[in-house]
Amino acid sequence: QITMDASFFLSLAQTRLYWILNCTWYCPVSVGLFEWHAYLVKLIENWWCPFNHGRKQGYDNAKIDQSFWHIYPEDEVKLHQDDLENPIWNESCSQCKGGDDEK
């Protein structure tokens, strides 16, 4: 059995407070920050390259609100069908109040 050598008296890892803070604050916050960073990378990739390519299916959880995608109607008819029905943009802002789908 592996046991901890308590030779260093001021070791923080020996304290109960260290493990409480590690498990209740540090772990969730660090995991959340990594998830948020991954989301931002996907969102920026979708913003700068909103057309179809190999990684778009994996970026589905970072959708772009279609109201940010400004395109003229005469240019919209020139788009390829895959880009017209692009799964990474939503039709309306789900977070906004007063959208087309709300009454």
Domains contained in the chain, number = 1
Domain range holding 23? 12-90
Whether 74 is in a domain gets the answer yes
Whether 80 is in a domain gets the answer yes
pLDDT one digit per residue (tens) for the chain, 103 residues: 666 666 666 777 677 888 888 889 999 999 999 999 988 888 787 777 766 666 666 777 777 766 666 677 887 788 777 777 766 766 654 444 444 444 3
Look up residue 16 and give its amino acid: R
pTM of the model: 0.51
Whether 54 is in a domain gets the answer yes
Whether 4 is in a domain gets the answer no
Whether 99 is in a domain gets the answer no
Q: Are 52 and 81 in contact (CB under 8 A)?
A: no
Residue with tokens 């003229």: 72
